[in-house]
Amino acid sequence: MLLSVVVPCLNEEASIPILADRLAKVIAAYGDSAEIVLVDDGSSDRTWTKIEAATQSYSCLRGIRLSGNRGHQIALTAGLEAARGKRIFMLDADLQDPPELLHDMMGLMDRGYDIVYGRRAERQGETAFKRATAWIFYRALNAMSDVDIPCDTGDYRLVNRKALDAVLSMPERARFVRGMFAWAGFRQIGIEYARAPRALGETKYPLRKMLGFAVDAMTAFSTKPLKFATRMSFASLGFSALMMAYVAHSLIVYQTAPGWASVVLAISLFSGVQLLTLGILGEYIGRLYVETKNRPLYFVAEDTRSADLLPLRKVG
């Protein structure tokens, strides 16, 4: 198998027929040496029914349904583990990232690159708020991360088997796949494209999920938040020393005690620093707790290619 196309899907019943048709046309040039793997991440609509119907129309298509909703990155991982190709092309089901760019990516990989990722030169149909938050996210992530993660990129990329096997060998559960490929190294190159607006369905990344995703990314690839908490603690100690000097000066020179405003200010400041520090520590401790349980990342409920369940991923 030369090529595997992996697509995680969540409540994408409207997109599946168009998605399957476009992908089938794109991989037609590779004949029987290409496959499509659609992973249903516990959808609550008729996504799985549409995937099953698509497998009847396209023999190259395989559907995998997870036993529950595990999140985009876990669903993507399930598809990557099921992929059999020497090269693996991944994209989202909303078709904002054009499947037709695969041929250009294959050309770059033929030149010796292990990973070819798409870089969003233009984000059509997105609000100014969405573009601004995305711009801030990638810059803040690189500032905080110990790994240089390409800006304005998603999971839209083509990787070879060597790079994929390296990433799949990483056992962490709080998965940030694009960061894991960046950390793995190998020869990488970006290709710019215009990201199309979503034509069907709704976005699966509202602000709440975007914030959670950002926290996962930063805690997975950096200890700088912990260092930031330490610096904040030292800064608060320095500020409290200045406050003590000010109070002592007021008592000696003005024969008066500080008023309630300074007391409230000090309490508010130090309480905020303490809560921030505890929150940062809590995020890392929570990650440790999840990792030590050593549970499989997912269970497969149905697989259109086999009546048996896929082998469970053993981590640890």
Q: How confident is the model at residue 172 (pLDDT cuts 50, 70, 90)?
A: confident
Query: Comparing 44-53, 148-157, 178-187, 266-275, which segment has the lowest mean pLDDT?
Result: 266-275
Which pLDDT value is given to residue 310? 44
Q: What is the mean pLDDT of residues 156-177?
A: 87
Which pLDDT value is given to residue 50? 92
Which pLDDT value is given to residue 237? 64
Task: Kindly tell me if the per-residue pLDDT of 205 is higher than 60.
Answer: no
Query: Which CATH code, of 3.20.20.140, 3.30.2320.50, 3.40.140.10, 3.90.550.10, is assigned to 3-222+295-303?
Result: 3.90.550.10
Query: Comparing 58-62, 173-177, 260-264, which segment has the lowest mean pLDDT?
Result: 260-264
From CA 37, how far away is CA 41, in angstroms rounded?
Answer: 13
Of all residues in the chain, what percent carry a pLDDT higher than 90? 22
Tell me the pLDDT tens digit for each residue of 145-156. Answer: 667 777 777 788
Q: How confident is the model at residue 121 (pLDDT cuts 50, 70, 90)?
A: confident
Taking Cα atoms as reference points, which of 65, 70, 62 lies closest to residue 5?
62
Are 182 and 105 in contact, with CB atoms under 8 Å apart? no
Identify the sign of the CA torsion 79, 81, 83, 86: positive
Task: Kindly tell me if the per-residue pLDDT of 314 is higher than 60.
Answer: no
From CA 256, how far away is CA 250, in angstroms rounded?
Answer: 6
Question: Residue 213 is inside which H or E element, if any?
Answer: helix 207-221
Q: Domain residue spans in the chain? A: 3-222+295-303, 224-292
Task: Kindly tell me if the per-residue pLDDT of 4 is higher than 90.
Answer: yes
Name the more confident of 28 and 298. 28
Which pLDDT value is given to residue 262? 61
Task: Kindly tell me if the per-residue pLDDT of 15 is higher than 60.
Answer: yes
Which pLDDT value is given to residue 87? 94
Are 199 and 118 in contact, with CB atoms under 8 Å apart? no
Contacts of 227 (CB under 8 A, 6+ apart): none
Helices 260-292/224-249 angle, 10° precision: 160
Helix (H, G, I), strand (E, B) or coil at 206: coil
Q: Which two tokens stand for residue 97?
A: 């990232």
Say which amino acid occupies 84: R
Task: Kindly tell me if the per-residue pLDDT of 270 is higher than 80.
Answer: no
Residue with tokens 């799949």: 168
